[in-house]
Structure 1
Amino acid sequence: MPVANLHALAGHPRENLKQWIRETSNALSEILAAPKDRLEVWVTEIDPELWGINGLPADEVLAQTPRHDAEMPFIRMVLMEGRTTEQLHRVIAELTAITARLLDVDAQRIRVYIAQAHPDRWGIGGVPASIRRAAELAARQPATG
């Protein structure tokens, strides 16, 4: 169920963006133990004239500042509730490292936002995930004792 929308300024090499999708998908699958057929990851490229940096359109900022120092990629994700804090922190760290390397951007400028969806508020084929995947979700919960 994890979904991730990777936002960046237009102008990066297409192969780097495709690799961003691949590596983000691999990281999410590994860290969250999520089957790849349940992942959705996509890139949204933003026109630099329509992205603000320091209160100015990015194209104006990039005319004077190297992209590496100016761009602020943004990753927005939705995950089902129940992930551990350690998993969330690993996702943030790994996606930041992947993004910095593939987009040649200062890691300090990358932002990652993770929203968590309650299974009753996430639908799969018109059915709440709490119903559709009740057994699977129960198996993911830590044992209490």
Structure 2
Amino acid sequence: MPVLEVHLVEGDHGPAAIARLLEAASRRYAEVLESPLERIRAYATLHPREHWAVGGATGLGNDLAPAPYFTAIVLEGRPVEQRHRLLADLTDLLVDVLGATRSRVRGRIIQVPHDDWGIGGVPASGARRDEIAARGR
């Protein structure tokens, strides 16, 4: 289930750095959520500089410092401490791997109800019923 999307400006970071970020973020996501690594999906969405604004200023004609944004999707019911750690750890990775300024990183966690997430075309509530029940104990 866990899905991570990191939004970046094209050209701010090279392909190797983005690949390192996605690999490290996948491992960290799995560790924090105590989820098998093979279930993690991580994507980098690259936006043209003219499609990015920070503080009302677009990247065109400006030398804006990178301001990455990420979205982490988890199934509903994850403990708040776990979600807070995920926010902190993903921010740390953006700082450590891409050299982003911590205060410029933004992120959010979206919790999805088990009946609204599909795994192989089946709602997670059915596909992972036993695992979900065990988390609640």
- Look up the match of 1:22: 23
Give the structure-2-normalised TM-score: 0.94
**TM-score normalised by the chain length of structure 1:** 0.89
Judge which range, 49-58 or 33-42, deviates more: 49-58
Q: Where does residue 119 of structure 2 map in the other structure? A: 124
| Count, aligned residues | 136
Structure possessing the higher radius of gyration over alpha carbons:
1
Q: Shift in Å at residue 76 of structure 1? A: 0.9
The aligned counterpart of 2:2 is 2
- Partners of 1:92 and 1:28 lie apart in 2 by 10
Distance 1:133 1:30 in 2: 19
Instruction: Give the deviation of 1:105 after TM superposition.
Output: 1.4
Question: Gaps spanning 5+ residues in structure 2: where?
Answer: none
Q: What does the per-residue CA deviation read over 1:28-69, in whole Å, with 9 as the maximum and x for residues that have no partner?
A: 11110011111100101111111112223213221xx5x2xx
- C-alpha contact 1:75 1:113 (8 A) present in aligned 2: yes
Query: Helix, strand or coil: the match of 2:27?
Result: helix
Q: Which runs of 5+ in 1 are unaligned?
A: none
Corresponding position of 1:51: 52
- Does 1:140 find its partner at 2:135? yes
Which amino acid in 2 is paired with 1:27?
A: R
Query: 1:106, CA displacement in angstroms?
Result: 0.7
Give 1:94-133 correspondences, 5 Å limit: 94-133=89-128
1:64-84 Cα deviation digits (max 9, x unpaired): x5x2xxx21000121011211
Per-residue CA distance 1:106-130 (angstroms, 9 max, x = gap):
1011011100011011111221110
SS in 2 for 1:24: helix
Alignment of 1:65-76 (within 5 A): 65=64, 67=65, 71-76=66-71
